[in-house]
Structure 1
Amino acid sequence: MDSETLLARITDYASRPDPYPLYEELRQAGPVVRQAGGNFLIGTYHQIAALLHDPRMSAVPRTRDEATPRLPFLRLDDPEHHRLRTLAMRPFGPPHSPRRVDGLRGEIDGITEELLASFEAGRQIDIVDDFAYPLPVTVICRLLGVPHEDEPLFRAWSDVLVAAADVRPEEETTDTDKAGDQARMEMGGYLVNLAEQRRGKPSDDMLSAFVNEPDPALRLTQEELAETAVLLLIAGHETTVNLIANGALTLLRQPEQLDRLRREPGLLPHAVEELLRYEPPVHMRERIPLADIDVAGSTIPQGTSVILVLASGNRDPKAFHEPDRFDPTRPDNQHLGFGSGIHLCYGAPLARLEAQAALGALLPHLGTAGLVQDPPPYRQNAMLRGPRHLPIQL
């Protein structure tokens, strides 16, 4: 049956520019659709939302290698997930740090202005390389305390890790997985070494806060520090790059909405929420049932791979009126752009702030810009979907 090949077709690179017809096919095939490779796909909003809140759905990968048990809290269950996430948040947000998210607004605006200085009429600009990537990378570097000159190092590691994190139709260990494990080890070692240089010499950054925590009960082990720092560095920029690039592309494709936002900048926060629904940076998440689970009359066996297609849920007409229309005034926008439940995106407040600042600053330039290529070239990853490049002519 065609429905059994949906995951293979969704993850096929040819589908990257527009996977939404496949998501519609998924929803029509049923709330639960078994794949030829043994995975189960779920693409309907209410079923996805319920499973994201179901404690029987585990975030721990089924293929976890017991010889290397270290995992980021993103891939752990409670209570260990809650413990590590809470420790990681202490230096990140209120009330523990003066560098809480709201306090970063001026800094983000300053970085944005610096990046826009190169935007001159007549030039061709790559929104990704010249703007959407360097903005969140600079911010997360400053937050963690990573020297910006080392950015090429962790960009290479990050590219490998993101490639290894993709969803696949068949479960198998590949060279990409092995390269991802190696990159994680090297990046973790680099960040732990950087943190150790701050031990006893605290400064205003997260790595310093981690290694100088005075309470032994609140300290991360060296392995926990490595995995948490890697997660924060990657998650702190990868998804935001997609959010900004997808947002710019959406507005360039819909000039009437772009003009409206230029006239009514107060709509920008609502527009960012609508972008998180309409073109989310994360399209899928994998979960593993800890017991047999009934979903809409179908039994999903314990231990199988369940792919929750968040981006499909965001376009479900049973949850959203005219879901294929981009509407910055959409009321009660309970999207799945940041997930839901205990694994709701850790950095959501920062991503929202960066996207609002970035798109707000871009609006005057986009009004007189044209897409050089549509669709643009996309990244390989189907789970973290966004343009690899987005060239525009100013």
Structure 2
Amino acid sequence: MRFDPWNPDFVAHPYDVYAELRRAEPVSFFEPTGQYLISRHADVNALLRDRRLGRSYLHVAAHEEFGQEAPPDFQEQFWRVVNAGMLDVEPPVHTRLRRLVSKAFTPRMVESLRPRVREIAGGLVDAFVAEGGGDLLAEVAEPLPVTVIAEMLGIPDADRHLLRPWSADICLMYELNPSPQAQHTAVRAAAEFADYLKVLARERKRQPGEDLISALAQIDELTEDELVGTCVLLLNAGHEATVNVTGNGWWSLFRNPAELERLRADRSLLPTAIEELMRWDTPLQMFERWVLEDIEVEGVAIPKGVEVALLFGSANRDPEVFTDPDRLDVGRADNPHISFGAGIHFCLGAPLARIELMESFGALLEKAPKLELVREPVWKPGYVIRGLESLEVTTS
């Protein structure tokens, strides 16, 4: 098999292909997307921190000046939302936005959320156990981070059912060469979410509460588009990865029953287990960067104006960094995985994600000690944001 992100067999198990890329062609040009694939941990880690690359190029050149076609007009609403969030901008705009939003993600503030996260996770697992199991993704993995981020933002209870579909649809645009239908679906979702948030932010500006939207609405140097883009990013980043770490993680444990039993027998291993599950079956397989100046990687010249595709899933299995990398080890102590990225775009919500995962896995280990897989799951077709369609389990 070769690198083929549209092949379901590759999506289900890309790791043998990654091993061959790291060995034989650590920097390779992938014609279908016009990107250079970067597969070794050292290179991925270095390029994430290299300011000669960026998530965007619009701070240095217009589309035409950079040799790129502008997005089609129908995508304007999507990019207006996305380009106003901190993930897809570069300094100095990124610096300003991250400084403003990071005030809501101080270590003390995030840690203060733990009791509430534990309460939500415990309630979801209690209900799941009472039903004897079901789809772990739909009943536990998805509601937890959505509820947490919705409470942080101040989304009314009656509207929270809208968030997960909007997020899933918006993320369709991040796959490689998305279909026309996926593009239109993502644009519609972005427009609907933006309209919803604008109305809510205007209400909170007049009558603020104790929530993040209220706090952001009071900041004069934050434009309405930036507020919307920030909230959309917090929702998408705040739960897509957490959902997939939960699903991929339990599927990984079921495939490695000795490690699952080890974790059940010694729950003090949970912190290292969470990190290992993020490494072993990475939820975000690829992260892209634009090359803003000519660079050279592993002796390969990469010109300005193209994209590099940083293969997180490959970097996290690199034997140069991880001992016996293809083995799941819930007690792995030395684990410099890059699932949260690196450099100025390192995931701002990483501490919160870790709390959610700790409480979710902890509640399931405690309350569902006999959790068993009902049937082998199927992977969603997406490669970049990689997760399962469902995970059917029984609790007794």
TM-score, structure 2 normalization: 0.90
**Offset of residue 240 of structure 1:** 0.5
CA distance change for structure 1 residues 311 and 200 in 2, over 3 Å: closer, same or farther?
A: same
Tell me the CA shift for residue 254 of structure 1.
2.0
Hey, what does 2:253 align to over in structure 1?
251
- Confirm whether residue 159 of structure 1 aligns to residue 168 of structure 2: yes
Question: Which of 145, 157, 162 matches 2:154?
Answer: 145
Report the alpha carbon displacement of residue 220 of structure 1 after superposing the two structures with TM: 0.9
In 2, distance between residues paired with 1:365 and 1:106?
17
Distance 1:14 1:261 in 2: 29
**CA RMSD between the two structures:** 2.1
Partner-residue secondary structure (3-state), 2:290: strand
Match of 2:204, SS state, is coil
CA distance in structure 2 between the partners assigned to 1:227 and 1:304 by the alignment? 25
| Cross-structure match for 1:19 | 14
CA contact (8 A) 2:107 2:351 kept: no
| Distance in 2 (alpha carbons) for counterparts of 1:321 and 1:229 | 39
Q: Which blocks of at least 5 consecutive residues in structure 1 are unaligned?
A: none
User: What is the rounded CA distance, in whole Å, between the counterparts of 1:94 and 1:369 in structure 2?
Assistant: 33
Partner SS state of residue 11, structure 1: coil
SS of equivalent residue, structure 1 residue 158: helix
Take 2:56 and 2:7, find their aligned partners in 1: how far apart are those partners?
25
For 1:1-394, what aligned pairs fall within 5 Å after superposition? 6=3, 9-37=4-32, 38-60=34-56, 65=71, 68=76, 70=80, 71=83, 72-93=85-106, 100-120=109-129, 123-168=132-177, 174-213=180-219, 216=220, 219-364=221-366, 367-374=369-376, 376-394=377-395
CA contact (8 A) 1:128 1:245 kept: yes
Alpha-carbon distance between aligned partners in 2 of 1:173 and 1:279, rounded to the nearest angstrom: 26
- Do the aligned partners of residues 201 and 131 (structure 1) sit closer, same or farther apart at CA in structure 2, a change above 3 Å counting? same
User: Could you tell me whether the CA contact under 8 Å between 1:59 and 1:74 is conserved in 2?
Assistant: yes
Residues 18-46 of structure 1: CA distance to partner in whole angstroms, max 9, x if unpaired? Answer: 22122122212322011123221011100
TM-score by length of 1: 0.90
Distance in 1 of aligned mates of 2:362 and 2:141: 13
8 Å Cα contact 1:128/1:390 also seen in 2:
yes
Q: Is the 8 A contact 2:129 2:367 kept in 1?
A: no
CA distance in 2, matches of 1:52, 1:63: 25
Counterpart secondary structure, 1:156: helix
SS at match of 2:289: strand
Moved more, 325-334 or 222-231: 325-334
Cα distance, 1:66 vs structure 2: 9.5
Aligned equivalents of 2:92, 2:50: Cα separation in 1: 14
Give the paired residue count.
Answer: 377
Q: Percent of pairs identical after alignment?
A: 39
SS at match of 1:389: coil
Question: Which sits farther off after the overlay, 232-241 or 15-24?
Answer: 15-24
Q: Supply the distance in 1 between the matched residues of 2:69 and 2:10 (Cα, whole angstroms).
A: 26
Q: Answer yes or no: is the 8 Å Cα contact 1:270–1:329 preserved in 2.
A: yes
Query: CA, structure 1 residues 105+121, in 2 after alignment: closer, same or farther (shift >3 Å)?
Result: closer
Q: How many angstroms does 1:275 deviate by?
A: 1.2
The one-letter code matched in structure 2 to 1:73 is M
Preserved CA contact (<8 Å) 1:34 1:40: yes
Describe the shift of the 1:64–1:314 C-alpha distance in structure 2 as closer, same or farther (beyond 3 A): farther
